[in-house]
A and B are shown apart, each in its own frame.
Chain A
């Protein structure tokens, strides 16, 4: 069975600084997708970034980038130039290619400090 682990329940970062959120996963599959979702206090789930396992290049979306280490089964999220609006819960998620079953981690609560 696949599992997703986020070992940092809470983190904080100063505004304009960089922060990295960790995620590890376990799977015997070779083809899969990894995601980071953001859940602000409004409770709305928002997709931040996604990575296809077959792509070696790390995904980037503006200030958000990932460090995908397939052999280590690690998928960390780096937020550069942190902004107050980045304050939220961040969830790492996994999905095997060909299925629609998402598996989410337990989340990391990030607080950006002014």
Chain B
């Protein structure tokens, strides 16, 4: 098992550009989440999904879109990047809400 994989590892965007952060897991996990980590603020939940076709907003959803067309993949889309979206992004998954979350290695995004 590869676990939770995220691509790319690093990305630099210009303000206004769009991009998709990829997240995939091969553990047949139903639950997946996206977090952002900023200095001094811990991890904050952006969006989460409890199964294919089902997504919901977390604490900081503005500026981000998600979809879950398959169990394995949960991409995060930035429609028009802003400097405030400079952060490290983590994807996580779990078998169910009562099971351990497994985190991906993170994507460091810089928006200039």
Contacts and interface: CB of A to CB of B under 8 A. Distances in A.
Nearest to B97: A100
A47 interface: yes
Interface in A55-112: 91, 93, 95, 98-107
Contacts, number: 48
B22 to A, nearest CB: 17
A43 B45 CA distance: 17
Interface residues of A, number: 23
B92 A45 contact: yes
B40 A106 contact: yes
Interface in A25-57: 33, 43-47, 50
Contact-residue bracket for chain B: 20 to 34
Contacts of B35: 104
Interface of A: 4, 6, 9, 33, 43-47, 50, 91, 93, 95, 98-107
Going nearest first, the 4 A-B pairs with the smallest beta carbon separation are: A45-B103, A104-B42, A104-B43, A106-B42
